[in-house]
Structure 1
Amino acid sequence: MGNPMLVAPFRIGVDVGGTFTDLVLVDGRGTVQAYKSPSVPSNPTDGVLAAVELAARSIGLAVPEFLSKTELFVHGSTVATNTLLEKKGAKVGLLTTEGFRDSLEIRRSIRENVWDHRKPFPEVLVPRYLRLPIAERMEHDGTVRQPLDLASVAAAAKVFAEEGAAAVAICFLHSYANPAHEIAAREELQRLLPNVWVTISSEIAPIIGEYERTSTTVVNAYVAPRVVPYLESLAERLKALGLPRKLLMIQSNGGAISIDEIGHSPASLVLSGPAAGVGSLKFFGQDTGSEQLISIEVGGTSCDVTLMQRGAVSMTDQIVVDGYHLNIPAVDIHTVGAGGGTIASVDGAGLLNAGPEGAGSMPGPASYGRGGERPTVTDAQLVLGRLKPGPYAGGAITLDLEKARQAIQQHVAGPLGLGIEDAAAGIIQLVEQNILHAVEQASLEKGYNPRAFTLVAAGGAGPLHGPSTARLLGSPSLYVPRLAGVFCAFGMCNSDLRHDYVRSWLHGLDDEATSSPELLEHAFGQLQESAVDVLTREGFTGDKAVVQRGYDLRYFGQQWTIPVECASTEPASVRAAFEQVYQRLFGYVQDNGAIEIVNLRLAAIGKLDALEIAKVPPAVSEPVPHSHRSVWIDREKGFVETPVYDGTILTPRQHLTGPAVIEEATTTIFVGPGDKLRITDAGNYHVEIAHAASAPHSTGPALVMSAA
């Protein structure tokens, strides 16, 4: 039985969001189907299984038969991020080297905004009475200065037991050079406290930088007791229901990892959902014919911007989540609070603000009718006619126009002395400025010209803002995937497995005694040996197992490093790679400058068979709108009777000119006046932006605004 149009084996990607759990199903011939099911924040496992049941039922299969035909099940979850944001993690104890008890709280005195001297630092995850000093000391070269005193470890264990600590982080000075003391302390704690999670910094973040290493280790210990049991429970339930393969998770580095390998480092999942967009960018790059892409993924609470240069996404090893620093490999995603649920307000000075506060899924925007009374971006789009009133996502939500109008009138239009439509247009204008600035920060500030890239509008709300953002950037074209509303879930089906390894080095590039090609080759070889072992366990060998080498480099005297991908160990080649990146970022290089190697990095990638673009039969007729409705275009044109198309029946090579609204299964596209849209051979949308090089396009009245 089942849907005869679908052919096993299946690939499944599941992305758990605050409002919906997205599931994408790809069959053996590349046919794609997308599903949305309400998330269950109190028990995300139930939300995942509900989405699986929905997909199975829609193709006429029982869940066990459906899962038995699945060769790849990849999951992205916000559980690690939410644990940190909501402060619902474990009670954590910390062992530090004697004399360094307060390093975690001192934080290097880093402030994200150097001009903001009053904003308090986030709450320390480990209070001082649980930060316990241990008698031990390593030198920077790994030699033992003071042996580990196991008696002090035992005394600390007694305190942790009395205080009810559920997890312990261990971070000793210079453990990146020699982890022996951390390993011995862990063994002692596991003997004395067998039911307590223990995390050591030399495994999670073996890097120079005591604060960053400690913060990363503490966050890992904080989230582990909640994240790991959830993942293990989900994996067991899927296995019991018939899934023959191990569950895979998407990490912050954009790659997948098996459930067996993630147990010791759940902190690597903090960008689990957004990072999966890398897989989608790689896939849709085939359809755009470009390897130069910038995606704006606009969801319910935020806009995530990712840049792909020559088919590779920008990476970083330092991310900040709610003020907590993590030193883990991650896709370089720039995020701003600009989503469908972003709340608009007017402050005491009469300034219009959009964000950073969001309405979430409960109560959600005012138009949801779930008790929310404050206006959001979704409410503004509804008032402007770009969204239609009525049910969405199979009836999971229903948009109420009157509630949207009331919220905007009360909280924005009234205080500003504007009409409701003008106020709604002002909200959209401000949010699109925020998105524009996010794209500029991800491109211009990294030395890239955004006009040389194709802008990709994704997420449920991205295609509503894409044309205006492209116009503001001066970008000539915009690409909208038909699967925009499940962008990350689809990317999970096209993500390779990935493991990242790092080793601190801290020697001059031209110092032959410590950084000769032979020594570097030996060090990389040791990392590669560990990497190949893991890939082999996961079933990747030969040309399916790929390793990529890189360095963290800086000029002597500088504090921050620059990641540089380079396969060579020859100093001249490494220097050339570094100077190329440095020139792009800062516009100059130091002639014959002394360069320092801080870290060696290696990425081990298990290559999955990439999904191929499936060609769709071309159109035999011109597109015909199914209706017309009054849509706000801009301040000059006001409301215009605009054709509305059913995107599910549009076919390749059809063309239309804006203004137009296209309603897709998972998103809505607003095409601006004069924009020319065509359906690609793969059934996606390519938009040529009208007047791309002109002055910024105004969508609303001239207001005094603030991008909070």
Structure 2
Amino acid sequence: MISEHEAVPARPWRIGVDVGGTFTDMVMVDAGGRLAIFKVPSVPANPGEGVLNAVARAAEHFGMAVADLLEGCRLFVHGSTVATNTVLEGKGARVGLLTTEGFRDSLEIRRGIRENPWDHRTPYPPVLVPRRLRRPVRGRLDPQGTQVAALETADVADACRLFAEDGVESVAIGFFNSYIDPRHEHEAAEAVAAHWDGGWVSASADIAPTIGEYERTSTVVMNAYVAPRVVGYLRELNRRLRGMGLPVTLLMSQSNGGVVSVDQISERPVNLVLSGPAAGVGAMNLVANALGDDNLISMEIGGTSCDVALMSGGQVATTDALEIAGYHLAIPSVEIHTVGAGGGTIAGVDGAGMLFAGPKGAGARPGPACYGFGGEEPTVTDAQLVLGRLKPGAYAGGSVTLDGDLAREAIRTRIAEPLGLSVEDAAAGVIRLVEQHLLHAVERISVQRGFDPRRFTLVPAGGAGPLHGPTVAARLGARRVYVPRQAGAFCAMGLLQSDVRQDYVQVFMRTLDADVAGDAEAGFRALEARAAETLKAEGFEGETARFRRSLDLRYQGQQWDVRVDLPEGDAFDPADARALFEREYERQFGHIQPGGTIRMTALRIAGIGVLPPLEPARAEAATAAPRPRETRPVWFEDGWHDTAVYEGADLQPGHAVDGPAIVGEQTMTAIARPGDRIEVDAAGNFLIHLREGGGRT
């Protein structure tokens, strides 16, 4: 960690900035691998201001001009919530949709099922395109791509006149069977350009060329919905940074865990809906290298939410079935499960007299009551402060100050008195309830997907994650917890360890047998050629360009696919593909169909532009035993304990302390329960060994 008294860092350096719901995190790594972390409050009304404020804070810290700081940067990566918030807040563009005649209502019919069969009352989210702006167009391709009826461009022209009259800002095109042949969609896009003055046109075959009429249409509509808001924001931020001295273009984190330039993402901004959380994949790679263990579960808890991801054998699973705010998207994404449980999660008592926590959060402003920004609702952070786990005073790198009296007052009036409890017992109830939510979130991505969490190391991250990590891990049956020293800027760290990535897919409906090998190999090579062309335009070729193959498979007669990753560098072998499928199928479902017919449904290529790996500087080994800065009463599950409190800077590789203990770092606070043991590893991070039988107290 670069201290306030050190000299200007060694050029060149990398910068990663992740915008969260409460804080904007910036990580800067210089040529010597030294790290500096900066936190500033997010600016929800204009997230780009949070980015620039973080840059200004860093420049001030080093006594540099902003222009000098940016000029020395050779990699600037940004994780943004702009696309996500545009959807959640319903502030996207006014969209017009061109659809095949007879399919005008498929967007509103959705899948025609209730995903929760016991919930008949919760309404679906509003359809993003009202019916009058969903315009049918004559013309038809059959499932083999053969033209049954030519496209009627006159219908497109009529729709464009309506779009102009109705103030449409963005046009989406989603035609039946376009995944097999995009010619009608491209012809319609040309007609839109000729008859409509707007600048935003999205074709489903370019955005999500997959089977599934509803999913493909929903995805292209979402792309059209967010494009004018997101692309404008990114281009303006890139322009401002370049104008202030940044010599390289801004890179953006995508939902697939990779990064891409602003110019590339401008064509598919829907791929940014998980931009921030997906950056955690890069951070998990750093942890795996430092720990020597590539079976990890990350639990990143910020101010608003908790994002959980699982790495097995060094790989984080990806999916193209994503849901955000009730809208289904067919885009490549790392598998992340998100729940509304963060430091700013609001707790209270409902009308039935029951304690609740979440999903609503206090946000950056007013934030938790203890911030002193006018918030009156008690939050998880307020409860942590009442229970002694957090200390009054400067917090999150000095960006806010915690006021214990305000925290107690909020919990007293909103929880303790209505329930007839003491303030401390009320705060303890909030923590217990939130940790139960966290436990379910981790089980959702592990146990429910066929993984035994006892084989994994839990990696709690974010500013709030390490406060909950040991309890959640113990209840899972895990034996250890690994807390990165920079856990409070986990995703921002991950941005600097993420490669450039572009995903390509081709529908391929064939039986998996020996006869298909040649056609499948040709399909893979065609996708690789497209990926190579895109990577070359980004400056990656030769050794810096890699290609990962995967395949979607299912047993004959089944509806859902199982995706398998194929060995890199090998020609396609149907026998190997069958073996991989059966192994994954048995892991997920506990059985296989010996000799069963397997259907291929899609070929996939991930084009990877390999960036130089991040190599943080190693911390110096300990030369003397650590001493706590203070001892104070802290609540744990079994009651109150006098707890040793250490400054993170005082703990170095080789140190070990027994719980109960608290470690305060610049961007996070870690705890060890009574009976746990914290060791500082060679990378300077905190490995917590959990006590035997510590799942319940």
> Normalization by structure 2: what TM-score?
0.97
Q: Name the amino acid aligned to 1:544.
A: T
Q: Name the amino acid aligned to 2:678.
A: L
Alignment root-mean-square deviation, CA = 1.4
User: Relative to structure 2, which stretch is displaced further, 388-397 or 593-602?
Assistant: 388-397
SS state at 2:110 partner: helix
Indicate the residue corresponding to 1:700 in structure 2: none
- Return the match for 1:216 from 206, 211, 219: 219
Q: Is the 2:76–2:251 contact (alpha carbons within 8 Å) kept by the matching residues of 1? A: yes
Q: Name the amino acid aligned to 1:696.
A: R
Deviation of residue 671 (structure 1)?
1.3
SS state at 1:673 partner: coil
**1:417-428 pair list within 5 angstroms:** 417-428=420-431
**1:619-638 pair list within 5 angstroms:** 619-635=622-638, 638=639
Q: Distance in 1 between matches of 2:72 and 2:357?
A: 46
SS state at 2:432 partner: helix
Deviation of residue 543 (structure 1)?
1.6
Indicate the residue corresponding to 2:675 in structure 1: 674
Deviation of residue 463 (structure 1)?
0.5
Deviation of residue 115 (structure 1)?
1.2
Q: Is the 2:370–2:407 contact (alpha carbons within 8 Å) kept by the matching residues of 1? A: yes
Indicate the residue corresponding to 1:234 in structure 2: 237
Indicate the residue corresponding to 2:281 in structure 1: 278
Q: Is the 2:502–2:607 contact (alpha carbons within 8 Å) kept by the matching residues of 1? A: yes
Query: Could you report, residue by residue, the CA deviation over 1:572-611 in whole angstroms, capped at 9, with x for unpaired residues?
Result: 1111111111001000001111111111110000111111
Indicate the residue corresponding to 1:577 in structure 2: 580
Indicate the residue corresponding to 1:340 in structure 2: 343
Q: Distance in 2 between matches of 1:576 and 1:547?
A: 21
**1:585-596 pair list within 5 angstroms:** 585-596=588-599
Q: Distance in 2 between matches of 1:369 and 1:58?
A: 25
SS state at 1:109 partner: coil
SS state at 1:639 partner: strand
Deviation of residue 687 (structure 1)?
0.6
User: Relative to structure 2, which stretch is displaced further, 157-166 or 470-479?
Assistant: 470-479
Indicate the residue corresponding to 1:685 in structure 2: 686
Indicate the residue corresponding to 2:531 in structure 1: 531
Indicate the residue corresponding to 2:654 in structure 1: 653
Indicate the residue corresponding to 1:142 in structure 2: 145
- Return the match for 1:414 from 390, 393, 417: 417
Indicate the residue corresponding to 1:706 in structure 2: none
Q: Is the 1:256–1:497 contact (alpha carbons within 8 Å) kept by the matching residues of 2? A: yes
SS state at 2:111 partner: helix
Deviation of residue 347 (structure 1)?
2.5
1:386 aligns with 2:405: no
User: Relative to structure 2, which stretch is displaced further, 662-671 or 371-380?
Assistant: 371-380
Query: Could you report, residue by residue, the CA deviation over 1:258-284 in whole angstroms, capped at 9, with x for unpaired residues?
Result: 111111100000000000011111012
**1:343-354 pair list within 5 angstroms:** 343-354=346-357
Structure 1 segments unaligned to the other structure (5+ residues)? 698-708
User: Relative to structure 2, which stretch is displaced further, 69-78 or 351-360?
Assistant: 351-360
How many residues were matched structurally? 690
Q: Distance in 1 between matches of 2:469 and 2:649?
A: 20
Query: Could you report, residue by residue, the CA deviation over 1:303-355 in whole angstroms, capped at 9, with x for unpaired residues?
Result: 11111111111111111001001111111011111111112122233322221
Q: Is the 2:34–2:616 contact (alpha carbons within 8 Å) kept by the matching residues of 1? A: no
Indicate the residue corresponding to 2:103 in structure 1: 100
Q: Name the amino acid aligned to 1:521.
A: E
Q: Distance in 2 between matches of 1:195 and 1:347?
A: 48
Query: Could you report, residue by residue, the CA deviation over 1:392-449 in whole angstroms, capped at 9, with x for unpaired residues?
Result: 2344322222222222222222222211111111110111111111111111111111
Indicate the residue corresponding to 1:562 in structure 2: 562
**1:71-220 pair list within 5 angstroms:** 71-220=74-223
Deviation of residue 524 (structure 1)?
1.1
Indicate the residue corresponding to 2:543 in structure 1: 543
Q: Name the amino acid aligned to 2:46.
A: N
C-alpha distance 695-72 of structure 1, shift in aligned 2 (>3 A): closer
Q: Distance in 2 between matches of 1:69 and 1:649?
A: 31
Q: Is the 2:322–2:329 contact (alpha carbons within 8 Å) kept by the matching residues of 1? A: yes
Q: Is the 1:93–1:168 contact (alpha carbons within 8 Å) kept by the matching residues of 2? A: yes
- Return the match for 1:255 from 252, 258, 261: 258
Q: Distance in 2 between matches of 1:113 and 1:558?
A: 21
Q: Distance in 1 between matches of 2:227 and 2:586?
A: 40
Q: Is the 2:178–2:184 contact (alpha carbons within 8 Å) kept by the matching residues of 1? A: yes
Q: Is the 1:369–1:403 contact (alpha carbons within 8 Å) kept by the matching residues of 2? A: yes
User: Relative to structure 2, which stretch is displaced further, 375-384 or 361-370?
Assistant: 361-370
C-alpha distance 278-394 of structure 1, shift in aligned 2 (>3 A): closer
Q: Is the 1:478–1:689 contact (alpha carbons within 8 Å) kept by the matching residues of 2? A: yes
Q: Distance in 2 between matches of 1:393 and 1:640?
A: 25
Q: Is the 2:476–2:695 contact (alpha carbons within 8 Å) kept by the matching residues of 1? A: no
Structure 2 segments unaligned to the other structure (5+ residues)? none
Q: Distance in 2 between matches of 1:5 and 1:478?
A: 34
Q: Is the 2:41–2:364 contact (alpha carbons within 8 Å) kept by the matching residues of 1? A: no
Q: Name the amino acid aligned to 1:321.
A: I
> Normalization by structure 1: what TM-score?
0.96
Q: Distance in 1 between matches of 2:8 and 2:455?
A: 40
Q: Is the 1:553–1:595 contact (alpha carbons within 8 Å) kept by the matching residues of 2? A: yes
Deviation of residue 694 (structure 1)?
4.6
Query: Could you report, residue by residue, the CA deviation over 1:283-312 in whole angstroms, capped at 9, with x for unpaired residues?
Result: 121211101111110111111111111111
**1:240-319 pair list within 5 angstroms:** 240-319=243-322
1:46 aligns with 2:46: no
- Return the match for 2:13 from 1, 10, 15: 10
Q: Distance in 1 between matches of 2:60 and 2:492?
A: 19
Deviation of residue 643 (structure 1)?
1.5
Q: Distance in 2 between matches of 1:360 and 1:112?
A: 29
Query: Could you report, residue by residue, the CA deviation over 1:623-658 in whole angstroms, capped at 9, with x for unpaired residues?
Result: 1111122211234xx322222111123211111111
SS state at 2:594 partner: coil
Q: Is the 1:287–1:613 contact (alpha carbons within 8 Å) kept by the matching residues of 2? A: no
Deviation of residue 164 (structure 1)?
0.4
Deviation of residue 529 (structure 1)?
0.7
C-alpha distance 242-5 of structure 1, shift in aligned 2 (>3 A): closer
Query: Could you report, residue by residue, the CA deviation over 1:441-491 in whole angstroms, capped at 9, with x for unpaired residues?
Result: 111111111111111110000010011111111211110001000000011
Q: Distance in 1 between matches of 2:500 and 2:178?
A: 28
SS state at 2:446 partner: helix
Deviation of residue 3 (structure 1)?
5.6
Q: Distance in 2 between matches of 1:401 and 1:59?
A: 32
User: Relative to structure 2, which stretch is displaced further, 23-32 or 350-359?
Assistant: 350-359
Indicate the residue corresponding to 1:600 in structure 2: 603
SS state at 1:93 partner: strand
Q: Is the 2:38–2:397 contact (alpha carbons within 8 Å) kept by the matching residues of 1? A: no
